[in-house]
Structure 1
Amino acid sequence: MVQYNPKDWITFIFRFHKSDTFRKLLPMMVFIGLYSAGICYLEVEYWKLSENSHVKNISIMHGMLGFVISLLLAYRTNTAYDRWWEGRKLWGALVNNSRNLAIKLSGILKDEHDKKYLRFLIPTYASVLAKHLSNEEVGQLLFENTELKINLEKHRPNQVAQVIFHKINDLYVTGKISGEQLIILNTELQSFTEVCGACERIKNTPIPYSYSAFIKKFIFFYVMTLPFGYVFNLGYYVVPVVVFIFYVLASLELIAEEIEDPFGSDANDLPTNKIAANIKKHVEEIL
């Protein structure tokens, strides 16, 4: 995730980050510029269309459709941001529940070996979940002389959650925690799987293809018809104007594409690995 100072305007304006939409759209912007220049040459120099040509009235269509495309893009970006923010809230809940579980266990457990084992298992769940959502390999996680084996063909976070619950249940069976204490711990144990399921819902339910494809086509044909009408008023200045309009509209769509899946590896995706590392740090401090 990109770290930045929101008050530093100069950096925002004149620095182009590797995730900036300008870099990604540059080839298409060059093409749009050449295309607009070609249309301008044909209408002004080759065909020599007059000011009374009906082609000039095409700009009326752009005025009518401008409001529609602005509504579509606003809804698109808001929907994508809602998915990103919901993902951040879910990982915030995972942080709090991991801390709460560690705090309760630190007061309940007396055996240092049990604390040590759970000190490893609780942050392991967050780490495995982060890798699961980003489709990274997990492999085997070593802990002292034992191995927590992760079967890559099965649901990886569920396997860790199952080990945690079995450990808590063993503590109950052996009398190290009471039935009331087991009920107190159940809320945090259950929340792990709930967070995982909600994150998977976001990841596995993308924006419908037809909706995303329609917006891209709408932007493309809207921009490609701009030079025909505005060349009469702007002349060759239509080239930078059309390029800028394309940059603005296409950038909004690119931003929405990037943040609608907050668990990927893009620059603006959630720093799940960093959050998992913070969970590990805090749990180790508590236990």
Structure 2
Amino acid sequence: MVQYNPKDWITFIFRFHKSDTFRKLIPMMIFIGFYTYGVGYLEIEYWKLSEQSYLSNITIMHSMLGFVISLLLVFRTNTAYDRWWEGRKLWGALVNNSRNLAVKLCVILHEENDRAFFRKIIPGYASILGKHLTDEETSKQLYEVTDLEIDHHKHKPNQIAKMLFQKINDLYDQKKITGDQLIILNNEIMSFTDICGACERIKNTPIPYSYSAFIKKFIFFYVMTLPFGYVFSLGYYSIPVVIFIFYVLASLELIAEEIEDPFGFDANDLPIEKIASNIKKHVEEIL
């Protein structure tokens, strides 16, 4: 995730980060520039159309559709940000639940072997969940740290949750914890699975295809018709104007595409690896 100072305006204006949409849109912006120049040349030099031409009134359509496209893009970006923020809240809840479980186990358990097991497996759940959400295979080193035997063809976070509950149940059978303590710890483990399911819901349910495709087509055809009306009032100055309009509209769509899946490797995605490492540090401090 990009670290920045929100009060530093100069940096925002003149710095182009690798996640900035300007670089991604350069090829399309060049095409839009040549396209606008071609339309302007045909209307001004070749056809020699005047401002009395019916094409000069096409800006009426743009003023009407501009409000519609702005509403669509606002809804699009808000929906994408809600998904990003929900993902952040879920991982924040995972941090808190891991701490709570570690604190309770620290008080309940007295043997070092039992504490050592949870000291490794609680952070292991966060690490494996992060790998699971980014569709990345869990490394063998991670298995060795948590002493887990994991079947790669099964749901990895569920296996960790199963081991957690199995250990809790064994402690109950060995009379190391009471029935009330078993119920309390069981609720903490259930919260892990709830968080995993909510993250999978975000990961596996993108914005409906028809909606996303419509916005892209709308932006494209809207920008493609801009030069026909702007050339009469701006001449060849319509080239930078149309490019700028395309940059603004397309950038909003690109930003929404990037943040709607917060569990990836883009610059603006959630730092789940860092969060998992913080969970490991905090759990080790407690246990």
TM-score range, shorter chain: over 0.9
Deviation for aligned residue 1:48: 0.3
Q: CA–CA distance in 1 between the matches of 2:272 and 2:226? A: 42
| Deviations 1:201-228 (CA, angstroms, capped at 9, x unpaired) | 0110110000000000000000000000
| Paired position in structure 2 for 1:115 | 115
Deviations 1:177-234 (A, max 9, x none): 1111111112211000000000000110110000000000000000000000011110
Among the aligned pairs, what percent are the same residue? 76
Describe the SS at the equivalent of 2:147: strand
Instruction: Tell whether 2:194 aligns with 1:207.
Output: no
Please name the residue that 2:167 is paired with: 167
Partners of 2:273 and 2:159 in 1: how far apart?
19
Shift of 1:150: 1.8
Report the Cα distance in structure 1 between the residues aligned to 2:14 and 2:200, rounded to whole angstroms.
38
1:90 aligns with 90
Q: Gaps (5+ residues) in structure 1?
A: none
Question: Where does 1:1-287 land on structure 2 (aligned, <5 Å)?
Answer: 1-140=1-140, 141-143=142-144, 147-287=147-287
Q: Distance in 2 between matches of 1:12 and 1:78?
A: 21
Residue 225 of structure 2 aligns with an amino acid whose one-letter code is: T
Q: Is the 8 A contact 1:138 1:150 kept in 2?
A: no
Native 8 Å contact 1:263 1:269 kept in 2: yes
Root-mean-square deviation (CA, aligned residues, Å) is 1.0
Distance of 2:155 and 2:184 partners within structure 1: 26
Amino acid at match of 1:29: M
For residues 90 and 73 of structure 1, the distance between their equivalents in structure 2, rounded to whole angstroms, comes to 26
Cα displacement string for residues 9-38 of structure 1 (whole angstroms, at most 9, x for unaligned residues): 111100100010000001100100111011
1:60, distance to aligned residue in structure 2 (A):
0.5
AA of the residue aligned to 2:158:
N
- Give distance in 2, aligned partners of 1:214 and 1:27: 22
Task: Look up the equivalent residue of 2:163 and give its one-letter code.
Answer: V
Give the whole-Å Cα distance in 1 for the aligned partners of 2:149 and 2:180: 31
Distance in 2, matches of 1:51 and 1:226, equals 15
Q: In structure 2, what is the Cα distance between the partners aligned to 1:6 and 1:188?
A: 36
Deviates more, 1:23-32 or 1:179-188: 179-188
Write the distance in 1 (CA, Å) between the matches of 2:36 and 2:71: 26
Specify every segment of 5 or more residues in structure 2 that has no aligned partner in the other structure, as ranges.
none
Separation in structure 2 between the aligned mates of residue 37 and residue 249 of structure 1, nearest angstrom: 20
Q: After the TM superposition, which parts of structure 1 deviate over 4 Å for at least 4 consecutive aligned residues?
A: none
Q: Number of aligned residue pairs: give it.
A: 286
